[in-house]
């Protein structure tokens, strides 16, 4: 049962770039302009009075600083995923999951906010058209809002599933025209009347105090959210390094041209006679403040203009956030930080239909749960402030660790002042939000806790293996993360030292790796000096050969010389002292298990005892002296039930792919009596490894045979390298020696055995639960 070479379900580099400058700007305008200010503008005026203009202006400054960071990152890495993709490159896969998980929550909550806003304005319109509905208060009004919100979410989710990703240009033009008329009419009244009289309601400007201004900033920061959605679809934008920065700043510029004059107008000429101040009026009509203000200076015509603009604005913002959330989910599924099913594309439109359905259903559930607009706005603003702060940190880290910006990418001006100021401002607002709106922090805490449990229990193994493959294929990734992979390589044989060094360079890649070449001079107080000098000469030659090769590969290398009565314990001591990630051992000849150990009463191979002492990954290579990893083109990887060494294996595969790997073949040997259903399931599991670790460039096969090892040895004759895995039992004794001895004796090609230390803590418990679950399934299938 074999499988032909696979291809990844999603690959940004293969997706056509269909969005130009206008379409990209439309995505930003759709998300920012109108929806937020209509839904939360009344809340801001109620909190800050006329100083709401100042609150919006300060939020605009933070947004512009953040847009500069986004522009630099999006043009450096023009791929889908936005902040999630940047966190994956700047930090670790675990941190990337956290950012992506929070981002998906932020966009879903923002979609809920705009869906509910659409429902609120839709209800206001229905009440104006059907006076009988004016009595639909409490549960009746709430039911209408929920129905409208769910219909809008479902409708735009369906539109995205059909492949529409642009920002809704008709709706954008329509709402901007309405905004322009409202602003022009209001400014005409200000000019026609005495400006001092028309603007009198704006005095006192800071009506509720400076804390009111800060509170308004916290509630309404989300009204500038949307420009980052352009970065979220960077993989679909034409000429990204030119269009992405222009589209981001253009969408923010259009937003400011609309927001500030509109606030000025509605708080001056829009003040109804029965109210003494804008804040008093906003407190009476927090959700429909702008509609009431427009009716005050334009009558019912102004009321309907605002209703139409609000409906268009909330719908376009809803679509933009559903789009962004689905693209984040798709990017996470591509990296296995969410289930792989979410990267499935529609066969005709190419839309990530599974991710769209996931986001739409999640938004629908939250629409039924979130109590009101203020709570949704506060939670969304808090989460976006956190992710924007992380983006500033990512931009600083990529520029610093990348040793300058990428040629052609946008450069943030006044670096590092801009990201430092942006990060500080976001942090201060986050702290204020947590204090003043604790329910927002509680919702975020619950979401993060749920995500941590899901990731550690079910997603971490595959996600970290795929990440290791990416790191092996892209050495720059390690440097951007500031994470160094270190490997200890004991060398003694000059003829085999260079082959070991070629493999060490795969375990500790260029730019982000460190190799410790170790010579152990075996000597005790009675060892003759001549023997020590001879050992030093041989070791010096081996170290020299290995050093030349690692330097040729561009890996930082250190030489370590130690003296000890026996080598195995000394290797373990140095590995613990240096806290290396892995130990690479070369084995020219391996004695049978127990040979030479009877007198000590311990028949285990010395390697088994060494493995029990090492807290890190171990790679054991048996190969002829002429072995060179760079010449390996065909690799065979047999798999069984345990794959704790997947990250180490994936890193090597990634390096081999970078060096010209031509064929990678995963196999699983099963008993001839295994049912067809089980065989199909096992083949599907092998395909997962092909897609994740080999980026789809490989084959998979399930083989039926009574004896697994002879079958593997027979197949190995067709390949340049055989990679095996060995699990070290938790709390038990390692038995790798006998297996290695048999492979050394029988295998017709070089053999690499990988061993990962046993899991502990929560990871071990989750793995045990998963193993019991799988065993239960297998028993049921066998019984059937």
Residue 167 confidence class, pLDDT cut points 50, 70, 90: very low
- pLDDT the model gives residue 735: 55
What average pLDDT is seen over the chain?
A: 81
Helix or strand or coil: residue 605? coil
- pLDDT the model gives residue 464: 82
- pLDDT the model gives residue 700: 93
| Statement: residue 771 has pLDDT above 70 | no
Say how far apart CA 596 and CA 592 lie, in whole Å.
9
Phi, psi of 762 (to 5 degrees): -60, -40
Q: Nearest Cα to 267, choosing from 280, 278, 281, 256? A: 278
The Cβ of residue 111 has, within 10 Å, a number of other Cβ atoms equal to: 33
Say how far apart CA 594 and CA 14 lie, in whole Å.
54
- pLDDT the model gives residue 442: 82
Q: Nearest Cα to 185, choosing from 289, 275, 268? A: 268
Cβ atoms of 1 and 669 within 8 Å: the answer is: no
| Statement: residue 516 has pLDDT above 90 | yes
Say how far apart CA 315 and CA 684 lie, in whole Å.
41
| Statement: residue 490 has pLDDT above 90 | yes
| R_g over Cα of the chain | 32
To the nearest whole percent, how much of the chain has pLDDT over 90? 18
| Statement: residue 566 has pLDDT above 50 | yes
Helix or strand or coil: residue 696? coil
| Statement: residue 56 has pLDDT above 60 | yes
Helix or strand or coil: residue 723? strand
Q: What is the mean pLDDT of residues 282-292?
A: 85
Phi, psi of 700 (to 5 degrees): -135, 145
Q: What is the pLDDT of residues 369-419, one digit of tens each?
A: 776 666 666 777 788 888 888 889 888 888 877 655 567 788 888 888 998
The Cβ of residue 261 has, within 10 Å, a number of other Cβ atoms equal to: 18
What are 237's strand-pairing partners?
A: 19
Residue 766 confidence class, pLDDT cut points 50, 70, 90: very low
Q: What is the mean pLDDT of residues 464-474?
A: 77
Residue 165 confidence class, pLDDT cut points 50, 70, 90: low
| Statement: residue 481 has pLDDT above 90 | no
Q: What is the mean pLDDT of residues 350-367?
A: 88
Say how far apart CA 722 and CA 784 lie, in whole Å.
35
Cβ atoms of 345 and 64 within 8 Å: the answer is: no
| Statement: residue 158 has pLDDT above 80 | yes
Q: Nearest Cα to 687, choosing from 700, 671, 669? A: 700
Prior bond of 416 cis (ω within 30°): yes
- pLDDT the model gives residue 220: 82
Q: What is the pLDDT of residues 627-683, one digit of tens each?
A: 999 899 999 999 876 666 788 888 888 888 878 888 899 999 999 988 889 989 899
Structure tokens at 603: 């028949």
- pLDDT the model gives residue 761: 46
| Statement: residue 36 has pLDDT above 80 | no
- pLDDT the model gives residue 65: 92
Residue 595 confidence class, pLDDT cut points 50, 70, 90: very low
| Statement: residue 41 has pLDDT above 50 | yes
- Listed in sequence order, the residues at least 6 apart from 186 whose beta carbon sits closer than 8 Å to its beta carbon are 261, 262, 264, 265, 266, 268, 269, 270, 297
Q: What is the pLDDT of residues 57-66, one digit of tens each?
A: 999 999 999 9
| Statement: residue 489 has pLDDT above 90 | yes
- pLDDT the model gives residue 665: 93
Q: What is the pLDDT of residues 733-759, one digit of tens each?
A: 555 555 556 666 788 999 998 887 765
| Statement: residue 599 has pLDDT above 50 | no
Q: What is the pLDDT of residues 527-557, one digit of tens each?
A: 888 888 888 888 888 889 899 998 888 888 9
Q: Choose the most confident range, by mean pLDDT, from 3-17, 250-264, 467-481.
A: 250-264
Structure tokens at 584: 């690479």
């Amino acid at each position: 049962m074999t499988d032909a070479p696979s291809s990844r379900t999603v690959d940004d580099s293969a997706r056509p770039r269909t969005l130009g400058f206008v379409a990209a700007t439309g995505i930003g305008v759709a998300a920012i302009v109108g929806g937020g200010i209509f839904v939360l503008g009344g809340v801001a005026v109620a909190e800050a009075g006329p100083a709401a203009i100042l609150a919006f202006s300060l939020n605009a400054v933070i947004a512009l600083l953040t847009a500069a960071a986004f522009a630099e990152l999006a043009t450096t890495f023009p791929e889908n995923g936005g902040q999630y993709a940047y966190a994956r490159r700047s930090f670790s896969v675990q941190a990337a999951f956290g950012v992506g998980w929070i981002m998906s929550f932020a966009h879903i909550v923002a979609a809920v906010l705009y869906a509910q806003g659409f429902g609120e304005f839709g209800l206001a319109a229905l009440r104006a058209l059907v006076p009988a509905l004016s009595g639909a208060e409490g549960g009746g009004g709430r039911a209408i809002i929920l129905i409208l919100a769910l219909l809008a979410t479902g409708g735009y989710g369906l539109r995205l599933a059909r492949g529409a990703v642009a920002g809704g240009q008709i709706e954008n033009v329509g709402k901007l025209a309405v905004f322009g008329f409202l602003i022009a009419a209001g400014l005409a009244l200000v000019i026609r009347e005495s400006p001092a009289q028309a603007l009198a309601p704006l005095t006192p400007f800071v009506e509720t105090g400076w804390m009111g201004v800060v509170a308004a900033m916290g509630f309404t920061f989300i009204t500038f959210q949307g420009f980052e959605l352009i970065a979220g679809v960077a993989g679909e934008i034409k000429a990204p390094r030119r269009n992405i920065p222009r589209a981001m700043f253009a969408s923010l510029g259009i937003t400011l041209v609309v927001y500030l004059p509109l606030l000025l107008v509605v708080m001056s000429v829009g003040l109804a006679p029965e109210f003494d101040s804008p804040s008093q009026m906003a407190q009476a009509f927090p959700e429909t403040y702008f509609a009431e203000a427009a009716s005050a200076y334009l009558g019912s015509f102004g009321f309907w203009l605002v209703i139409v603009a609000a409906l268009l604005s909330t719908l376009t913002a809803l679509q933009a956030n559903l789009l962004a959330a689905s693209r984040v989910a798709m990017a996470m599924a591509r990296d296995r930080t969410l289930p792989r099913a979410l990267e499935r594309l529609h066969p005709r439109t190419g839309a990530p239909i599974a991710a769209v359905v996931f986001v739409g259903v999640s938004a629908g559930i939250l629409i039924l749960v979130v109590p009101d607009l203020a709570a949704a706005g506060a939670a969304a603003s808090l989460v976006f402030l956190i992710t924007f702060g992380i983006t500033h940190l990512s931009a600083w880290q990529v520029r610093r660790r990348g040793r300058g910006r990428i040629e052609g990418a946008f450069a943030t001006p006044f670096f590092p002042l801009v990201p430092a100021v942006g990060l500080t401002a976001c942090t201060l607002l986050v702290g204020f939000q947590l204090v003043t709106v604790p329910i927002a922090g509680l919702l975020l805490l619950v979401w993060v806790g749920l995500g941590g449990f899901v990731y550690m229990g079910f997603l971490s193994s595959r996600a970290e293996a795929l990440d290791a493959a990416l790191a092996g294929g892209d050495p720059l990734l390690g440097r951007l993360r500031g994470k160094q992979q270190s490997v200890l390589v004991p060398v003694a044989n000059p003829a085999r030292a260079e082959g070991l060094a070629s493999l060490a360079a795969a375990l500790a890649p260029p730019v982000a790796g460190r190799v410790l070449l170790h010579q152990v001079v075996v000597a005790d107080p009675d060892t003759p000096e001549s023997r020590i000098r001879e050992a030093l000469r041989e070791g010096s030659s081996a170290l020299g050969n290995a050093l030349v090769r690692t330097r040729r590969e561009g890996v930082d290398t250190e030489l370590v010389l130690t003296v000890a009565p026996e080598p195995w314990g000394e290797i373990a001591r140095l590995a613990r002292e240096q806290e290396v990630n892995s130990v690479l051992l070369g084995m020219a000849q391996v004695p049978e298990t127990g040979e030479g150990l009877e007198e000590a009463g311990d028949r285990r191979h010395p390697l088994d005892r060494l493995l029990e002492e090492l807290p890190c990954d171990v790679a054991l290579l048996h190969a002829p002296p002429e072995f060179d990893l760079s010449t390996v083109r065909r690799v065979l990887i047999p798999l069984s039930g345990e794959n704790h060494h997947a990250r180490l294996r994936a890193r090597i595969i990634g390096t081999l792919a970078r060096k010209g790997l031509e064929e990678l073949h995963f196999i699983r040997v099963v008993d001839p009596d295994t049912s067809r259903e089980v065989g199909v399931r096992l083949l599907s599991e092998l395909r997962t490894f092909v897609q994740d670790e080999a980026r789809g460039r490989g084959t998979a096969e399930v083989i039926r045979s009574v004896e697994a090892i002879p079958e593997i040895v027979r197949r190995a004759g067709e390949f340049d390298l055989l990679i095996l895995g060995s699990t070290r039992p938790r709390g038990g004794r390692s038995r790798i020696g006998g297996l290695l001895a048999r492979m050394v004796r029988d295998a017709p090609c070089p053999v690499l055995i990988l061993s990962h230390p046993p899991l502990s803590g929560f990871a071990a418990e989750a793995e045990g639960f998963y193993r019991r679950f799988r065993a239960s399934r297998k028993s049921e299938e066998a019984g059937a």
